[in-house]
C-alpha cells in the first residue's frame, strides 16, 4: 500500500522535475506519468535542497521547500500546458513566436535535441509522445549535458527508450567531469558533438534546445551555426 508520505514524495519529485524551470524562467511544461509511477518513485525519494545542505544551493531549493511546508489537505493550483511549442504528431510542431501569436507549423523527419540538466523535461515529453505512436516515424537524437554522472536526470528512462527504439531514438551524453572509463563525451557542447550526435542540417531537421542560458548562448548556438543548422529550424524552450 502506498502511504501518504510516499504520495507527497512523488508529488515533490514530479513537480521538481517539471516545474523548476517554470518558477525560475517562467516556462510551463506538460508532463505525463506512467501508471506505476508511485511504485517506481516511492523507493527513490529523499529530502533534497534544504537550506545549508548543498553548498551549490545554500538557500535551498525553492520548490522543494515550498512543497515540504504543505500539509495533507492543502490544495495546489496547476496551470497549463501553455508553452510556445506543441507537438501535433507525425513530425509536426506548432510553434509560436510569442504567446499571442498564431502558431506556425513546422514539419520534420529528424529532431535534434540538446538538453542541459533539468532541460531534459520538455525533451522527454516529446520523445515519449513520438515513441508511443508506432505510426510516427520521426527520429529523435538527444545530446544531454550534465556536470557529473550523478546529475543525469531520468537516465534509466532514457536508456530504456533507446533500448526499445534503437532506430528511432539516439541517445548521447556529455559530462563536465567524467569518471574513468566513461564511454560518452566529456566537456561542453562542441562542434564535433553537434556534427556527430545530431541529425544533419536540412529542411527536414528541427533542433530543440533547453538548458541554462549561457549553455545555449555560448555553446549550443555557435556550434549549430558552424555545422550549418539554420536559425529558422531551431526552437529554444
105: β partners: 94
Q: Which among 38, 68, 98 is the end of a domain?
A: 68
Residue-wise pLDDT tens digits, 141-198: 999 999 999 999 999 999 999 999 999 999 999 999 999 999 999 999 999 999 999 9
Q: Does the annotation list 63 as a binding residue?
A: yes
pLDDT band at 221 (very low <50, low <70, confident <90, very high): very high
Q: Does the annotation list 131 as a binding residue?
A: no
Are 44 and 112 within 8 A, CB to CB?
A: no
22 and 132, same domain (yes or no): no
64 and 112, same domain (yes or no): no
**118: nearest Cα among 63, 58, 200:** 63
Residue 197: which H helix or E strand, with range? Answer: helix 191-197
Query: What's the whole-number average pLDDT of the chain?
Result: 85
165 and 214, same domain (yes or no): yes
52 and 142, same domain (yes or no): no
The mean per-residue pLDDT over the stretch 13-37 comes to 45
115 and 167, same domain (yes or no): yes
62 and 144, same domain (yes or no): no
Are 92 and 107 within 8 A, CB to CB?
A: yes
Asked if the structure places residue 88 within a domain, the reply is: no
pLDDT of residue 39: 46
Question: Residues 46, 49, 50, CA angle at the centre, nearest 5°?
Answer: 100
146 and 38, same domain (yes or no): no
Whole-angstrom CA distances from 40 to 7, 22, 34, 128 are: 12, 25, 9, 17
163 and 232, same domain (yes or no): yes
Domains contained in the chain, number = 2
How far is residue 236's CA from residue 210's CA, in Å, rounded to a whole number? 6
34 and 116, same domain (yes or no): no
Q: To the nearest whole percent, how much of the chain has pLDDT over 70?
A: 78
**84: nearest Cα among 94, 71, 76, 96:** 96
pLDDT of residue 77: 85
**DSSP codes of every residue in 38-63:** HHHHHTT------TTTSTT-TT--HH
Are 111 and 89 within 8 A, CB to CB?
A: no
Q: Which among 19, 36, 68 is the end of a domain?
A: 68
The mean per-residue pLDDT over the stretch 74-81 comes to 79
Asked if the structure places residue 227 within a domain, the reply is: yes
In this structure, of 20-24, 60-64, 157-161, 229-233, the range with the lowest mean pLDDT score is: 20-24
221 and 124, same domain (yes or no): yes
Asked if the structure places residue 166 within a domain, the reply is: yes
Residue-wise pLDDT tens digits, 27-51: 444 444 444 444 444 444 444 567 8
Torsion, Cα of 35, 46, 80, 231 (10° steps): -100
**Residue linked to cell 522535475:** 17
Are 123 and 113 within 8 A, CB to CB?
A: yes
46 and 128, same domain (yes or no): no
Residue 206 lies in domain: 108-236
Tell me the pTM: 0.72
How far is residue 155's CA from residue 145's CA, in Å, rounded to a whole number? 12
Amino acid at each position: 500500500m502506498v502511504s501518504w508520505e510516499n504520495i507527497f514524495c512523488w508529488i515533490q519529485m514530479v513537480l521538481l522535475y517539471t516545474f523548476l524551470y517554470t518558477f525560475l524562467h517562467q516556462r510551463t511544461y506538460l508532463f505525463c506519468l506512467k501508471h506505476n509511477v508511485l511504485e517506481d518513485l516511492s523507493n527513490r525519494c529523499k529530502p533534497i535542497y534544504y537550506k545549508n545542505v548543498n553548498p551549490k544551493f545554500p538557500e535551498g531549493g525553492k520548490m522543494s521547500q515550498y512543497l515540504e511546508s504543505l500539509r495533507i489537505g492543502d490544495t495546489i493550483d496547476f496551470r497549463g500546458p501553455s508553452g510556445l511549442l506543441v507537438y501535433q504528431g507525425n513530425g509536426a510542431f506548432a510553434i509560436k513566436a510569442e504567446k499571442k501569436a498564431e502558431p506556425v507549423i513546422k514539419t520534420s523527419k529528424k529532431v535534434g535535441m540538446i538538453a542541459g540538466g533539468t532541460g531534459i523535461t520538455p525533451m522527454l515529453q516529446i520523445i515519449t509522445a513520438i515513441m508511443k505512436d508506432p505510426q510516427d516515424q520521426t527520429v529523435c537524437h538527444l545530446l544531454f549535458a550534465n556536470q557529473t554522472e550523478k546529475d543525469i536526470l531520468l537516465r534509466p528512462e532514457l536508456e530504456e527508450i533507446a533500448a526499445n527504439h534503437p532506430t528511432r531514438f539516439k541517445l548521447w551524453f556529455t559530462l563536465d567531469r567524467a569518471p574513468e572509463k566513461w564511454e560518452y563525451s566529456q566537456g561542453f557542447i562542441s562542434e564535433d558533438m553537434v556534427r556527430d550526435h545530431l541529425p544533419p542540417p536540412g529542411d527536414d531537421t528541427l533542433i530543440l534546445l533547453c538548458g541554462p542560458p549561457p549553455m545555449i548562448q555560448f555553446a549550443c548556438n555557435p556550434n549549430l551555426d558552424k555545422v550549418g543548422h539554420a536559425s529558422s529550424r531551431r526552437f529554444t524552450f
